[in-house]
Chains A and B, each alone.
Chain A
Amino acid sequence: MISGAAGRSALGIRLGGSVWLFLGPALLLMLAAYLAPLFDTTIVSLHPNRPTGIDRDSWTIANYLRLLDTYYGEVLLRTLRVSLLITLFSVLLAYPVGVWLAGLGPRGQAWAILVYMSPWFVNAVVKSFGWTLILGNRGLVNRGLQSLGLIDSPLRLMLNETGIVIGLLPGHFLFVLLPLWAALKGLDGNLRWAAMTLGARPWQVFLRVTVPLTLPALLAGAIINFTMNMAAFAAPALLGGTRTRVLSFIAYQVNLEELNWPFGGALAVAMLVVTLGFVMVAQGLTRGGLGGGRR
């Protein structure tokens, strides 16, 4: 009897109650932790904000129209610029570091990965504070350069976009490096030798064999990296300063300082849409960009 019911489920004819029992927790978690807040945020963003709080009885798109203001346009552009710059640097660094890493012995790899992970052992706020000691006008870098006589007045390394890039790059680089490293390690070593016996020089092996085979991993990492750059909060707040605000900080400010949740919701939804748009473009690149894409 029991085996009969199980057989039916396995054939996909009917999902028995026991299947939902297994799927239930995952679906519930998704609903409760991801979709419900998102849904609620979207609904709130469609209500007007009044001095007495959110007016849940009326509906408006005014919050979204406010986003068209050039100020938010500038913030959005800055957020995208900084995020893409970090992703670009990460991608440029990924192959040299990844190839070097994949060539180390197992122990060397473990240690090196630990070093690349180390930014995550420190709380983001503490880490950013540490950066201010290094990058500030009287920080390590500027004092070093000044004592070497290389510069007269301190370089502006923080409280601008440079500071955000420097602050986020080390930590977020990991998310480009790890998938690429795994892909490089998974490459059949004989492919390299095969290409070389066929006359390929090392750089040709890299461009024609290594890169095409690991590009999907690199792009996957780049997508994660980009979304994390878009959502980063502490480093932009502390290293970018008040003049160099990014979307996530504006969203924080609107929600928690201005207490304007409807507009904050609109900001969050806009941020989500822009980030998702970029992710979809990148995924399209992965799928379409690799020589026909038949797998």
Chain B
Amino acid sequence: MGGAPAGLEARSLVKRFGATTAVDGIDIAVRPGEFFTVLGPSGCGKTTFLRLVAGILAPDGGSIRIGAADLTQAPIWARNIGLVFQNYALFPHMTVAQNVGFGLAMRRVPRADRGPRIARALETVRLDGYGGRRPSELSGGQQQRVALARAIVIEPDLLLLDEPLSNLDARLREDMRSELADLKHRLGITTILVTHDIHEAFSLSDRVAVMRAGRVEQVGAPTELYELPANRFVAGFLGPVNEWTGRVGAIADGTAEVEFAGLRSCRVPALAGWRGGDEATVILRPERLGLTAASAAGEGAVVGRIDQVAHLGNLVNYRVAAGGRALLAQAPAGRTGRFALGDRVAVAWDDADLAPVAP
């Protein structure tokens, strides 16, 4: 659909509500055709950012460009943006077809052309034949798809999705997510998703920006963020994590020897500015911790006792009290290698899985 996709460039965006600054100098560049996600806890300013891009809010500073055009001051109706709301915001007094055709009517698309385009859009979201229904006669998932069809039928330069899956139940959400992933490839529209759900963000996005308190903490591909979080907040927000703080020893060739009380010392890539004797924090994802029976403890392993077990179906989470710490470990739920509460286990890891983080 449409011509070449456009990119978005937001520069030094600022938005204040009274004394609070909701968006505090954001720089985000979305590449043409990219599926970009703004991820963050509620109140981080991500929805405000979306509304600034859509034109619902006017920024107090900074600029917004879509493609070559500066749209900072452009009215909403002139931005050619498709927006899907969290609550779908379908027009209750119109049929599905009228909802989808609304944008076409506003754009003065000839009546004869509207029908086929509406039909195509409904087909794209697998709702062919639903054109005559009212939104109230559809399920939540179907309404969601109507909202999507309504947004894409106008061939927008930019598609904005505001927590589109959060109102759906778990199973529908899964379906819808895979459908979105599908659509993303078929449509090729530059898309910005705003969500607080990391699974949503990671499974759909080319790149993700993590926001906190009105600022962007880190932008990168999902794996990059997961493996090399810029700081403790990003690390923690993206999932459970073991966070160890120790003392830097010798640094050589960019690799630092860090001593942790109760654990063995580890070799990790030194962060710029680390000096011997400094405090240093590293993180280790639970799934990178290996558990074996205490009797089979290898060199450098720490022995401890399991004090919490949580079965997640395909995975099991363990908490191990070892070396005066609570170590989180995650293992596939197999028939072998299962441990029970109170078992003595040896915990081992590869230093290559440790990532240093800024405080």
Contact = CB atoms under 8 A, between A and B. Distances in A.
A200 B106 contact: yes
27 contacts: A188-B87, A190-B85, A190-B87, A193-B76, A193-B83, A193-B85, A194-B85, A194-B150, A195-B91, A196-B75, A196-B76, A197-B76, A197-B81, A197-B82, A197-B151, A198-B77, A198-B106, A198-B150, A198-B154, A199-B107, A200-B77, A200-B106, A213-B93, A290-B93, A291-B94, A294-B134, A295-B136
Contacts of A201: 75, 77
A294 B132 CA distance: 11
B89 interface: yes
A193 B51 CA distance: 10
B56 interface: yes
A291 B102 CA distance: 15
Per DSSP, chain A at the interface is helix
B87 A193 contact: no
Interface in A139-195: 188, 190-191, 193-195
Contacts of A190: 85, 87, 89
A291 B85 contact: no
B56 A193 contact: yes
B103 interface: yes
Contact of A191 (B77, B82, B89, B151): B89
B38 interface: no
B288 interface: no
Interface of A: 188, 190-191, 193-201, 204, 208-209, 212-213, 290-291, 294-295
B300 to A, nearest CB: 56
| Residue among B54, B82, B93 having the largest count of chain A Cβ atoms under 10 Å | B93
Given A190-B89, A191-B89, 5 more contacts: A194-B85, A196-B76, A196-B77, A197-B76, A213-B93
Nearest to A201: B77
A209 B93 CA distance: 8
A194 B89 CA distance: 7
Contact of A197 (B77, B91, B93, B134): B77
B65 to A, nearest CB: 18
Contacts of B83: 193-194, 197
Contacts of A208: 102
A31 to B, nearest CB: 38
Given A204-B106, A295-B136, A197 B92 contact: no
A197 B102 contact: no
B49 to A, nearest CB: 15
B117 interface: no
Contacts of B103: 198-199
B79 interface: yes
Interface in B199-230: none
Contact of B54 (A197, A213, A294): A197
B25 to A, nearest CB: 25
A209 B87 CA distance: 17
B134 A191 contact: no
A234 to B, nearest CB: 40
Nearest to A189: B89
A198 B83 CA distance: 8
B93 A195 contact: no
A291 B93 contact: yes
B140 to A, nearest CB: 15
| Most A CB within 10 A of own CB, among B79, B92, B136 | B92
Contacts of B77: 196-201
Contacts of B75: 196, 201
B122 to A, nearest CB: 16
Contacts of B93: 212-213, 290-291
A204 to B, nearest CB: 7
A204 B162 CA distance: 24
A204 B77 CA distance: 11
Interface in B105-140: 106-107, 134, 136
Interface in B48-63: 54-56
A31 B150 CA distance: 53
A197 B92 CA distance: 17
Which 3 A-B pairs have CB atoms at the shortest separation, nearest pair first? A199-B106, A198-B103, A190-B89
Contact of A198 (B92, B102, B134, B136): B102
A201 B78 CA distance: 9
Nearest to A208: B102
A193 B52 CA distance: 12
Nearest to B101: A198
Contacts of B87: 188, 190
Given A199-B103, A200-B77, A294-B134, A193 B150 contact: no
A211 to B, nearest CB: 10
B57 to A, nearest CB: 10
B91 to A, nearest CB: 6
B89 A188 contact: yes
Interface in B250-270: none
A199 B56 contact: no
Which residue among A191, A290, A291 has the maximum number of chain B CB atoms within 10 Å of its CB? A191
Nearest to A197: B83
A295 B134 CA distance: 8
B233 to A, nearest CB: 30
A277 B101 CA distance: 38
Contacts of B85: 190, 193-194
Contacts of B151: 197
B234 to A, nearest CB: 30
Contacts of A193: 54, 56, 76, 83, 85, 89
